[in-house]
Chain A
Amino acid sequence: MTDAIAHHPTDETLAAFASGTLDEARGLVVSMHLSLCAACSRKVEGYEAIGGELLEQATPLSMEPGALRNVLRLIEEDFAAPETGPKQPLDRYQLGPWRWVGPGVRQRSVSVPEVSNIKVFMLKAAPGTRLPYHRHAGYEWTCVLEGAFEHQFGRYGPGDFDEADETMEHKPTVCDGDPCICIVALQGNIVLQSRLGRIIQPLLRL
């Protein structure tokens, strides 16, 4: 936990997360931010209170006869295995190997099932790397895990969250110091603006 996080998801995004209605890809990137940001975690808990209240107000729908007995039986058969401590959001996913995608840039896949052209991956870029000027065909949500990058909207360090969409063009540069490791949910393809960029794009496989 750090209080140095400057860029957060919007309240609307946090509320969508709390209601369970973000797609899995974006939900994972928000989870990564929440694991690093106490302030947003508290907001999400506040929004869960809304869900809790709606649950209290719901019209109950009778359970099948014997449902409680069945649940108690299952609990006993399972020795009531208690669940300890929260799991890290990435624990449930397989990570691919780091592979080279361009000078100073490596990428590893995160095994989130691909739905409608949304991909999740981690990106590791060396200090000083300038990513090509690009815009997006869909959204690109990023959470920085280590190191930092900057673009025209500011500097993004560990825990910082960047919601870019198709209306945005940016040219991120990795800050000096440590390599920058991010987790990214990307919808559609990025669109490189330069001619050279368009030539190398197939190599980047982004």
Chain B
Amino acid sequence: MKNGWADRKKVIGKSEADEISDPKDGLVRNGLEKLITLPCQPEQDRAYSRTMVEFDPARLIRRVAASQDRDAFAELFEHYAPRIKAMMIRRGASRDRAEDLAQETLIKLWRKAAQYDPERAAASAWVYAIARNISVDESRREGRATAWAEEDGMLEDQHNDEPESQLLVAEREAYVRSSIGALPEEQLRVIRLSFFDGLAHGEIANLLGIPLGTVKSRIRLALQRLRDRVGELK
């Protein structure tokens, strides 16, 4: 848990600190910060999704399960692997390792496809859970990766050659999405650092320079607001 933390703090901490001190909160100043701030801009996503061809991950997963459909799998791969790669890097993996972990996640998706129950979970939530488990296993194997410092600046040259969103979201996903978008920035920030970047509550407190109790209460408030809007968040 502790190994890579100091290194990660150097990188994430910089942009988070900028974000805090900058009154024009949310300005995109570099590639890394883009990862942090983009999720605050659901408007942009919604605008894209109206013009996109239908991407129905739940249906694609069912096709993989039913007939080992490689075309369906390829679509899932194109959509999720690059996002999972970004998530793995945020969670402390080197660029090469993140590539491997994203591939590993998609292999797992293939193998577990028959277990996916669309009545129970949105496809994105199910894919997230697989990626999270692989990330957790990775940090158990390696301790937290220490590659952060070496990889400084690596996100500057990312290729943004994929459309931002190819989604036609289910109603439930739309609710979660709009609810996340409606969170106050300070709550969204801790939610993102926790769920996407995989930082423990104590690490978030260190990073933002705020007391642990404040982190916990922001998470509590955010969960409360999400529940209020989404009902049981099913």
Instruction: Spell out A's residues near B (CB within 8 Å).
Output: 11-12, 15-16, 18-24, 27, 42-43, 45-64, 67-68, 70-72, 74-75, 78, 80-86, 113, 115-116
Residues of A within 8 A of B99 (CB): 63-64, 67
Residues of A within 8 A of B201 (CB): 12, 16, 21
Q: List 30 A-B contacts (CB under 8 A).
A: A11-B223, A18-B195, A19-B198, A20-B133, A21-B200, A45-B120, A46-B234, A47-B195, A48-B126, A50-B191, A50-B233, A51-B129, A52-B121, A52-B125, A52-B127, A53-B176, A55-B127, A56-B169, A57-B38, A57-B42, A58-B38, A62-B82, A62-B162, A68-B78, A71-B110, A80-B68, A80-B110, A81-B111, A84-B115, A85-B115
Q: Which residue from A24, A46, A50, A52 sits with its C-beta under 8 Å from B232?
A: A46
Report the Cα distance A51→B131, complex, angstroms. Answer: 10
Nearest A residue to B70 via CB reads A72
Instruction: Spell out B's residues near A (CB within 8 Å).
Output: 1-2, 34-35, 38-39, 42, 45, 68, 70, 73-74, 77-78, 80-87, 89, 98-99, 102-103, 106-108, 110-115, 120-129, 131-133, 135-136, 140, 155, 158-162, 164-165, 167, 169, 172-173, 176-177, 180, 191-192, 194-196, 198-201, 216, 219-220, 223, 226-227, 230, 232-234
Interface of A, secondary structure class, is helix
Report the Cα distance A114→B113, complex, angstroms. Answer: 34
Nearest A residue to B230 via CB reads A46
* A-B contacts besides A21-B200, A61-B83, A63-B102, 18 pairs, CB < 8 Å: A15-B223, A16-B194, A20-B132, A45-B234, A49-B233, A50-B180, A51-B196, A52-B123, A56-B165, A56-B177, A57-B38, A59-B158, A60-B86, A63-B82, A74-B107, A75-B110, A78-B107, A113-B140
- Do the beta carbons of A61 and B85 come within 8 Å of each other? yes
Report the Cα distance A77→B192, complex, angstroms. Answer: 37
- Do the beta carbons of A59 and B102 come within 8 Å of each other? no
- Do the beta carbons of A51 and B132 come within 8 Å of each other? yes
- Do the beta carbons of A83 and B35 come within 8 Å of each other? no
Residues of B within 8 A of A58 (CB): 35, 38-39, 83, 86-87, 196
Which 4 pairs show the lowest CB-CB distances between chains A and B?
A46-B233, A52-B124, A60-B82, A52-B125
- Do the beta carbons of A59 and B160 come within 8 Å of each other? yes
- Do the beta carbons of B35 and A45 come within 8 Å of each other? no
Number of A-B contacts (CB under 8 A): 207
Given contacts A55-B87, A56-B165, contact A67 B103 (CB under 8 A): yes
- Do the beta carbons of A49 and B121 come within 8 Å of each other? yes
Chain B nearest CB: distance from A58 CB in Å? 4
Chain B nearest CB: distance from A41 CB in Å? 10
Residues of B within 8 A of A47 (CB): 195, 223, 233
Chain A nearest CB: distance from B2 CB in Å? 8
Residues of A within 8 A of B169 (CB): 56
Residues of B within 8 A of A59 (CB): 34-35, 38, 86, 158, 160, 164
- Do the beta carbons of A61 and B86 come within 8 Å of each other? yes
Residues of B within 8 A of A43 (CB): 232-233
Report the Cα distance A75→B198, complex, angstroms. Answer: 28
Given contacts A12-B216, A15-B223, A21-B194, contact A49 B82 (CB under 8 A): no
Chain A nearest CB: distance from B174 CB in Å? 10
